[in-house]
Amino acid sequence: MVDAATADEWKAVKCRFARLLGLGDSTQTRLADQRLEETRDKLISAAGTDTGLVRTSLEVGWAARLLDFLEENPGTEVHLQTLVREIQGVLAAEAVAAPDLAVSANGDVSAGAAPGPKPEDLRALAARSELAYSTGLTGDAAGARDQFAALVPRAERVLGPEHPDTLAARGSLAYWTGQAGDPAAARDQFAALLPVTERILGPDHPDTLNTRHNIANFAGYAGDASGARDQFAALLPVTEEVFGPDHPDTLAARFNLAYWTARVGDAAGARDQFAALLPVRERVSGPDHPDTLAAREELAYWTGQAGDAAAARDQFAALLPIRERVSGAEHAETVALWYQLAHWTALARDAATAPDLGLRRTKAWRTKAWRTGTTAWARATVTAWARATSRVTPWPGAIWTAWARATWTPWASVAPASTSTTVTAGPWPGPGPRAFWWPGPD
C-alpha cells in the first residue's frame, strides 16, 4: 500500500482500494480515499532523514487497518489478495526500470534507498505488542513485563532505537515493571527514556508528558513522596497548557499532586486541593464516576486528618450509600468506606448516632454495640464485613487493612499518622501504557 503511493499507477490503485474499503458506502469510500491520499502526501512531504520513519509509521498503520478490516469483513479477503498481487506486479515492473527508488523531501526520486522493515516483521511486532498489553490488562503484570522485555530489542532491531513505537515499547516495559512490584526500576527506566522522548518527540508531546507523569508516580511508590509531589507540581502547569484544564490527563495530574502532598504530611494542603478538584471532576466525569468517588473519598479522609473528624464522618456518611449503589454492598471499596465511617464517627465521639449508621445488619451486632460502645461497634462492624467480603472478592488488601485497624483506641482528637490508610488504591497512572502500531480513530 505505502510503496504503491509513490508509484505511477497510484491514482488507479487508490480508487480500487477506496472502493474495496468503502464496501459500497459512498461516505466510507470517500474517507478511505482521503486517507490514501494523505498517505502519499506524508511520504512526499517528509524530510529526507525522516522518510524511513514516516514510511514505517504509515506501513504499520495500514497493516493494522487492513487486519481490522479483514476481521470485520472476512468475505473481502480474496478481493484484497487479488488487488495486492496486482499492485505487487506493478511495483515489480517499475522496479526493473528504476531499482531502489526513494522519494525525497521535494518529491524527487533518488536511487539506493535502504529497504524498510518487512511487512511480516511489522505484523509480528504488532501481535507481540498487543499480546503483552492484553496480558497486563488481565492482571498478569509480571507476564506483561517479561513480554515487553523480549519485545524491546526486536523493535529496536526492526524499527530502530529511536522510532516512536520503540520508545512506546520501552515505556510499556517500564510501566509493567513497576506494576509487577519494582517501582524503583520503573522510575529509573522512565528516567532513562525521558531525554530520548524529549529529543525525538518534543517536550510537550503527550508521550513525553506521560513519561514525566510515570517518573513522578513511581518515584513516590519507591518511597520519595516529596519528590513525587514536586515533580507533579512542575508537571501540572505544562499539562494544563498542552491539554487544557478539563482533560483527563490534567485531572489525573491534579489528583496525584494532592495525593503526594498528603503523603508528605500536609493534610490541610491535600484537603484543599481535593476540595478544588472535586467539582471539576463531577462536572467532567459525573457524580458516580470512579474518579469522582475517589476524589470524594480522599477529600473526606484528609478533612479528618486535618483535624475535623465530624466533617469527615459526615462526608463518609453521605458517600457510603453512593458507593454501595455503584459498587455493591460487599465490594472491597464499600467495606473500606464502612471502616472509615466507623473510624471518624468514633473520633468525633458521636456514640449516640454511631449505632444508627451501621449496626442494623444483625440483632447480635446491634446489641453488642449498645453494650460496649463505639470502639466495639467499630471493631465488630468492620471485622464482620471484612470477613464476609473476603469470601466474595479477590482483593483482600483494603479489607484486611480495615480489619487490622479496627482495633484502634478512638479516644484521641485525630488518628495517629502511623496508622493512616486511605480508601483509594493510589494515584492515577495517567494515560498509562499502550499497545503500539495500531492507528486508532482518525
Over residues 145-183, the pLDDT tens digits come to 999 999 999 999 988 999 888 999 999 999 999 999 999
What was the pLDDT predicted at 14? 74
How far is Cα 403 from Cα 416, in angstroms, rounded to an integer?
17
What was the pLDDT predicted at 89? 60
pLDDT tens for residues 16-43?
777 778 877 777 787 888 877 877 777 7
What was the pLDDT predicted at 218? 94
Q: Residue 141 pairs with which residues in a beta bridge?
A: none
pLDDT tens for residues 279-288?
999 999 999 9
Handedness of CA 180, 185, 191, 196 (dihedral sign): negative
* Residue 50 resides in a domain: yes
What was the pLDDT predicted at 153? 93
Q: Residue 110 pairs with which residues in a beta bridge?
A: 102
Number of domains in the chain: 2
* Residue 42 resides in a domain: yes
* Residue 85 resides in a domain: yes
Q: Residue 103 pairs with which residues in a beta bridge?
A: 109
User: Residue 328: CB partners within 8 Å, gap ≥ 6?
Assistant: 334
How far is Cα 232 from Cα 237, in angstroms, rounded to an integer?
9
Amino acid at 159: L
* Residues above pLDDT 90, as percent of the chain: 38
What was the pLDDT predicted at 72? 78
State the average pLDDT over residues 336-353: 77
**pLDDT higher than threshold 50 for residue 405:** no
Confidence of residue 80 (pLDDT cuts 50, 70, 90): confident
What was the pLDDT predicted at 427? 61
What was the pLDDT predicted at 50? 57
The mean-pLDDT minimum among 118-122, 352-356, 400-404 falls in 400-404
From residue 403, how far is each of 69, 301, 336 by CA, in Å? 52, 17, 9
DSSP 287: T
How far is Cα 204 from Cα 243, in angstroms, rounded to an integer?
10
The mean-pLDDT minimum among 61-70, 239-248, 336-345 falls in 61-70
End-to-end CA distance of the chain: 18
* Residue 437 resides in a domain: no
From residue 338, how far is each of 120, 350, 382 by CA, in Å? 55, 15, 7
From residue 299, how far is each of 112, 196, 262, 288, 312 by CA, in Å? 63, 37, 11, 15, 8
State the average pLDDT over residues 308-335: 92
All cell numbers assigned to 265: 504530611
What was the pLDDT predicted at 258? 95
Neighbour count for residue 349 (Cβ, 10 Å): 14
Last residue of a domain, one of 98, 131, 160: 98
* Residue 49 resides in a domain: yes
State the average pLDDT over residues 189-205: 94
Last residue of a domain, one of 98, 115, 146: 98
Neighbour count for residue 172 (Cβ, 10 Å): 25
The mean-pLDDT minimum among 136-145, 286-295, 365-374 falls in 365-374
Query: Higher-confidence residue: 400 or 378?
Result: 378
What was the pLDDT predicted at 330? 85
143 close to 128: Cβ distance less than 8 angstroms: no
**pLDDT higher than threshold 70 for residue 379:** no
What was the pLDDT predicted at 120? 57
How far is Cα 420 from Cα 418, in angstroms, rounded to an integer?
6
Longest distance between any two alpha carbons in the chain, whole Å:
97
* Residue 197 resides in a domain: no
All cell numbers assigned to 279: 467539582
What was the pLDDT predicted at 54? 67
How far is Cα 229 from Cα 225, in angstroms, rounded to an integer?
6
Last residue of a domain, one of 65, 98, 131: 98
The mean pLDDT value of the chain amounts to: 74
Tell me, rounded to whole angstroms, the distance of Cα 391 from its chain centroid. 29
According to DSSP, the β-strands at 109-111 and 101-103 are antiparallel
* Residue 41 resides in a domain: yes
pLDDT tens for residues 39-78?
777 777 765 545 666 676 677 677 777 777 777 777 777 7
**pLDDT higher than threshold 90 for residue 276:** yes
State the average pLDDT over residues 324-351: 85
18 close to 33: Cβ distance less than 8 angstroms: yes
What was the pLDDT predicted at 8? 60
**pLDDT higher than threshold 90 for residue 377:** no
Alpha helix positions (H), 49-118: 51-72, 77-97
- The SS3 call for residue 360 is coil
Phi, psi dihedrals of residue 275, rounded to the nearest 5°: -65, -35
* Residue 244 resides in a domain: no
Confidence of residue 115 (pLDDT cuts 50, 70, 90): low
If you average pLDDT over each of 56-60, 140-144, 398-402, which comes out highest? Answer: 140-144
Which residues constitute the domain of residue 382?
308-413
Tell me, rounded to whole angstroms, the distance of Cα 405 from its chain centroid. 31
How far is Cα 253 from Cα 109, in angstroms, rounded to an integer?
47
